[in-house]
Amino acid sequence: MKLDYSTRMQMTLSGLTDFLERYKQPDHLSDATSMAEMKSICDAINARMSADIDKQAVLDRLADVFQAVSEQYLGAAWPKAAVFVKAMDGINKRRTSMDIDRPAVSEVSDALTIAANRINSGESVGEEYLYGRLNLELMATGDVTDEALKKCRTALFFNMKRAWGDEKALHVEGEFMRRHERAVAAVEQDQQIAHGVPTPKTKDMGGYAF
């Protein structure tokens, strides 16, 4: 189903908020001006999306642009909107050349299916599919092997290491792991509320923390 601009902006802002956690907010930005900066980035990204794009395509495109920025941007503070524009333009150019042979995104059932296919094929995905709540949901489907997940995480780490060096790569990876631990704890808490004790399946999810 085609999304209106407001809905796309909300989805982009949600993803951008999580993505920017790995960077330092510039000191000169107040709460108000930081939100204006984030809106500027969201506007820049959405201006480069097709008007008839559907929800799944938005999620897929956001995962691609955040991955591209994380690999290409070397700074410690928030990337400027121009960095996202460059990444988005590169993604659009690459997709245009591939769309002739690629099925429409609407033909794919959901974001988890796309992410599973990419991980199992050794392709890059957004880090939200490798760590955190979305990763737990993905692994619970049984569509991704432990080996494929480990390879994708390792590839992400070495991409960060090449871009930023050991210290920052280890720091960011640590943030991913802590986010994953919080997601596992949240799932276990949900299970405790629903059933009184965590289920074995939830305990199994914890095995994907590292």
- Does residue 175 form part of some domain? yes
- Does residue 120 form part of some domain? no
pLDDT at 106: 42
pLDDT at 111: 77
Hey, which residues does 77 pair with through a beta bridge? 24
pLDDT at 193: 67
- Last-in-domain residue among 87, 110, 133: 110
- Does residue 115 form part of some domain? no
- The CA distance from 66 to 59, in Å, is 11
Is the CB of residue 38 less than 8 Å from the CB of residue 20?
yes
When divided into structural domains, the chain yields a total of 2
Check whether residue 177 and residue 76 sit in a common domain. Answer: no
- The CA distance from 81 to 36, in Å, is 11
| Structural domain span for residue 160 | 125-210
- Does residue 4 form part of some domain? yes
Closest CA to 184 of 199, 194, 169: 199
Long-range contacts of 34-43 (CB under 8 A, 24+ apart): 37/78, 37/81, 38/13, 39/9, 39/13, 40/81, 41/16, 41/79, 41/81, 41/84, 42/9, 42/12, 42/13, 42/16, 43/9, 43/81
pTM of the full structure: 0.49
Check whether residue 23 and residue 93 sit in a common domain. Answer: yes
- Does residue 116 form part of some domain? no
pLDDT, one tens digit for every residue, the chain (210 residues): 677 778 888 889 888 998 998 899 888 888 788 888 999 999 889 888 887 778 888 888 888 899 889 888 888 899 998 999 998 888 888 766 545 444 444 433 467 888 898 899 888 888 888 998 888 888 988 999 999 999 999 998 998 888 788 888 898 898 889 888 988 888 887 777 666 554 444 444 444 333
pLDDT at 127: 83
pLDDT at 194: 64
Closest CA to 13 of 34, 39, 48, 36: 39
- Does residue 18 form part of some domain? yes
- Does residue 104 form part of some domain? yes
Check whether residue 138 and residue 90 sit in a common domain. Answer: no
Is the CB of residue 176 less than 8 Å from the CB of residue 131?
yes
Helices 146-164 and 166-195, packing angle to 10 deg: 140
Check whether residue 67 and residue 154 sit in a common domain. Answer: no
- Does residue 117 form part of some domain? no
Check whether residue 130 and residue 105 sit in a common domain. Answer: no
